[in-house]
Every structure is written in C-alpha cells, then in structure tokens.
C-alpha cells in the first residue's frame, strides 16, 4: 500500500510538472527561455587523461563526498599542479558557466596582447567602439581596454545579463570618469568581447579553442560552446561560455602554475601577475577583498585566493601557493526545457562556504602528504 501511495504521489507530481511545462512554453513567458542560445558538445580527439596526484585518497574522498552530497553542486574537479587530485559527479557535463566567462576572456586578452594583437592602453575612441543603441559621450569614449578589464570604465548604460542588484547599484550616467570608480559592469564585460573579435579577427570560441583548449588537452570545449545573445536595448551582445568542470579546472591550473601547461607557456606570467593585482577594494561582496583583471581576489592573513564566480553555482578557485585549481559546477540547463526545469524546480546553488570547505580539504590533504 505504501509503495502504491508513493507511486501515485510521484505520478501526480510528474503530471503537474508536465502540465506546467506545456502551459509555460505555450505562452509568452517562454520567449525569454527560447531566445537564449544553447549548444552541445562531444569529446575532443586531442583530450588526454590527467595523472592522479598522490594523496590520502580514501579519507579525502570520504569527507569530500559528505560535503558534496549535501549541497546543490553537480560536479567537482580539483587539480594539484597539472594532475587530478579529486573528482566528483558528472565532471564532463557542459553547462553555462555564467560570469566565470569574464575570467576566461581575461586570459584571451593576455594572450592577444603578447601576440601584439591588442593594446590594452587604447581608448574606445581610438578603437572606434560605440554602443549604437546608446551612443557614448566623448568623455565615455576615453575609457581604455584596461579600464574595462578592471570594471572601471565610467560607462553606466543598459547591458545584457544584468542582475537586479547590478541595476540597483549602477551609478547615474556621467557620475565618474574612466578609472575613477569600480562598478561590476556587464557593459564593460560584454564590450570586451566585441573589442577582442574586432582587433584579433578571431571569434572568442575559436581563440579559446586554439589558444587554450588544445594546448591544455581539454575534454569537451569546442568553438561552438561560445554563443551570443543580442538585445534591442544595446548593440553589445553578451557572449556565453558552456564548459564542463574538468575543462574549467584545466583552465584554472594555468593560473595556478604561472600560465604554464606542462613546460609550455600558454598565458604570459606577467599577465597572471597583473590579473591578480587588486585595482579596486571590494566592500559590498562577502568574502572578496579586491578585483583584478576580471578575477575576484580574497586575501586572508597570509593567503591569497583568486575566484571566478558565476550565477547558479559556478566556481573556479585558484591558489598559486599550493598550485590548486578547483572547479565546482551546477548544471543550470543546456536547453530551454532544461533551464525551465532548473529555475522552476531546482534553482539552488551551493554557498561559498561549501566551496571553501572543499578547497581547505584539498589543501590540507596536500600539506599532510608533504609532512
């Protein structure tokens, strides 16, 4: 009888979900979901398995599993140097990395600068960059590429991908000149994508694939995993990256290892240093103390961590001292129905504290081994 009751309850819930989905996608409410570009991915032929790092695997995995089983994350991949330290869940499942995309494009700017393709000191005026839906003033056009990398452009206009909090905190237009004030600004971040493609003649997806994914032998990332979304309110499209936890950890390992993969320099070391310098003090976001070139910085006593963070529970944590790179992800949907399901019936994300606990567990296991 109990089994039958559970089965009936499940059937009722399933029916309700199907009805809700049908009603939603038959109304205008679905427009926002259906306008979001999506992508799929398959394994790359150049992918190579990572070696296993030497650590107390059983004890560490037991504790790690306890943490992961009680939070919302779907996957975890931790690297020490360029070996795998621990793995949990579907680490090859691609998902929208949300604002982690900003740290990804920062790396592309560092490589492009080293190739002589981009000069971060150039102004928007010199580059011929303008928002045709909201034309920039002469004052706003004096912002440099570096100002945008620091989120200090002084340009405060509508942009794609803004959260409610970002809109509420946006200063009045014309309040500050470039490099006078920090504001976490999606207009800056989206415009960097336009600048990169204009100056290099290469799409973000192709550049990341050739410059980073191939050299680090990523498992899933392909050029089609960068998609674009446009709006009537701004001429600056928003780029989205879809990646898996293993590939994000490989990306993070470049920053943890001074820009190198094995013995090859992929991202210039001086760009890594510049990216992790605090150009702004952060006082309105818990945990973080500074902002670099599209990376969040956390300084606690003698420890400095670098974070890339995306809505929905996407994280990359880098510790250059211990050479740790950690990627924790939550699958927020890779199709209209998948996004609808996540936002309607899931919608959770693990807090920073869980990510921090996993990081500390990894670091402690390394320290214990070194004693």
Does residue 166 contact residue 193 with C-beta atoms inside 8 Å? no
Could you give the CA distance from residue 10 to residue 25 in angstroms, rounded to a whole number? 22
Q: CB-based burial of residue 283 (10 Å sphere; 0-12 exposed, 13-18 middle, 19+ buried)? A: exposed
DSSP three-state, residue 370: helix
Could you give the CA distance from residue 221 to residue 212 in angstroms, rounded to a whole number? 10
Share of the chain above pLDDT 70, in %: 83
Indicate the helix (H) or strand (E) that contains 95.
Answer: strand 95-96
Could you read off the pLDDT of 251-260 as tens digits, one per residue?
A: 999 999 999 9
- The dihedral over CA atoms of 265, 267, 268, 272, expressed in degrees to the nearest 10, equals -130
Q: Is the pLDDT of residue 263 over 60?
A: yes
Q: How confident is the model at residue 182 (pLDDT cuts 50, 70, 90)?
A: very high
- Residue 283: DSSP 8-state: -
Position 269 scores a pLDDT of 98
**Mean pLDDT, all residues of the chain:** 86
Average pLDDT over residues 341-362: 70
- The dihedral over CA atoms of 215, 217, 219, 223, expressed in degrees to the nearest 10, equals 20
Q: How confident is the model at residue 231 (pLDDT cuts 50, 70, 90)?
A: very high
Phi and psi torsions of 325, nearest 5°: -130, 125
Count other C-beta atoms under 10 Å from residue 18's C-beta.
10
Could you read off the pLDDT of 53-70 as tens digits, one per residue?
A: 876 567 777 888 888 888
Q: Is the pLDDT of residue 85 over 50?
A: yes
Share of the chain above pLDDT 90, in %: 68
Could you read off the pLDDT of 205-216 as tens digits, one per residue?
A: 999 999 999 999
Closest residue by Cα to residue 347 from 334, 332, 335, 368? 332
Does residue 255 contact residue 321 with C-beta atoms inside 8 Å? no
Could you give the CA distance from residue 349 to residue 309 in angstroms, rounded to a whole number? 12
Largest CA distance in the chain: 75
Closest residue by Cα to residue 325 from 89, 71, 83, 105? 83
Average pLDDT over residues 2-17: 40
**Residue 142: CB partners within 8 Å, gap ≥ 6?**
123, 124, 125, 177, 178
Query: Which of the residue ranges 10-24, 112-126, 143-157 would you say has the lowest mean pLDDT?
Result: 10-24
Per DSSP, what are the bridge partners of residue 316? 308, 327
Could you give the CA distance from residue 22 to residue 14 in angstroms, rounded to a whole number? 12
What predicted TM-score, i.e. pTM, was given to this entire model?
Answer: 0.87
Handedness of CA 79, 84, 88, 94 (dihedral sign): positive
DSSP letters, 31-69, are: HHHHTS--------TT--PPPBP-S-HHHHHHHHHHHHH
- DSSP H helical ranges for the chain: 2-25, 31-34, 57-69, 101-114, 124-127, 145-149, 164-169, 186-200, 204-208, 245-256, 269-275, 336-341, 352-370
Q: Is the pLDDT of residue 19 over 70?
A: no
Average pLDDT over residues 111-139: 98
Q: Is the pLDDT of residue 285 over 90?
A: no
Q: Is the pLDDT of residue 103 over 50?
A: yes
Cα three-residue angle 307-187-242, rounded to 5 degrees? 50
- Residue 320: DSSP 8-state: T
Could you give the CA distance from residue 1 to residue 77 in angstroms, rounded to a whole number? 43
Closest residue by Cα to residue 260 from 81, 116, 112, 103? 81
Could you give the CA distance from residue 347 to residue 344 in angstroms, rounded to a whole number? 7
């Amino acid at each position: 009888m109990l089994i039958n009751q559970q089965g009936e309850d499940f059937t009722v819930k399933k029916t309700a979900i199907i009805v809700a989905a049908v009603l939603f996608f038959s109304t205008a409410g679905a427009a926002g979901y259906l306008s979001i570009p999506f992508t799929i991915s398959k394994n790359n032929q150049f992918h190579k398995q990572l070696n296993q790092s030497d650590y107390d695997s059983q004890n560490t995995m037991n504790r790690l599993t306890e943490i992961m089983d009680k939070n919302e994350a779907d996957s975890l991949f931790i690297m020490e140097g360029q070996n795998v330290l621990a793995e949990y869940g579907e680490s090859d499942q691609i998902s929208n990395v949300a604002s982690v995309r900003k740290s990804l494009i920062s790396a592309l700017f560092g490589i492009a600068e080293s190739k002589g393709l981009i000069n971060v000191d150039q102004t928007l005026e010199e580059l011929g960059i303008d928002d045709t839906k909201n034309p920039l003033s002469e004052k706003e056009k004096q912002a440099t590429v570096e100002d945008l990398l620091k989120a200090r452009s002084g340009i405060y206009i509508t942009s794609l991908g803004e959260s409610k909090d970002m809109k509420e905190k946006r200063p009045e237009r014309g309040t500050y000149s470039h490099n006078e004030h920090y504001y976490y600004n999606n207009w800056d971040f989206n415009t960097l994508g336009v600048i990169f493609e204009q100056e290099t003649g290469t799409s973000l997806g192709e550049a990341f694939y050739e410059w980073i994914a191939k050299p680090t032998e990523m498992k899933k990332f392909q050029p089609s995993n960068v998609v674009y979304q446009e709006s009537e309110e701004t001429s600056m499209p928003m780029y989205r990256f879809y990646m898996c936890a293993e590939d994000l950890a490989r990306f993070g390992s470049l920053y943890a290892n001074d820009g190198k993969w094995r013995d090859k320099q992929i991202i210039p070391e001086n760009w890594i240093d510049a990216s992790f310098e605090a150009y702004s003090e952060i006082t309105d976001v818990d945990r973080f103390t500074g902002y670099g070139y599209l990376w969040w910085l956390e300084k606690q006593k003698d420890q400095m961590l670098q974070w890339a963070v995306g809505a929905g529970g996407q994280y990359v944590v880098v510790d250059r001292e211990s050479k740790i790179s950690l990627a924790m992800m939550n699958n927020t949907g890779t199709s209209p129905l998948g996004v609808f399901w996540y936002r309607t019936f899931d919608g959770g994300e693990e807090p920073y504290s869980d990510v921090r606990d996993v990081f500390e567990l990894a670091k402690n296991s390394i320290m214990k081994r070194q004693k």
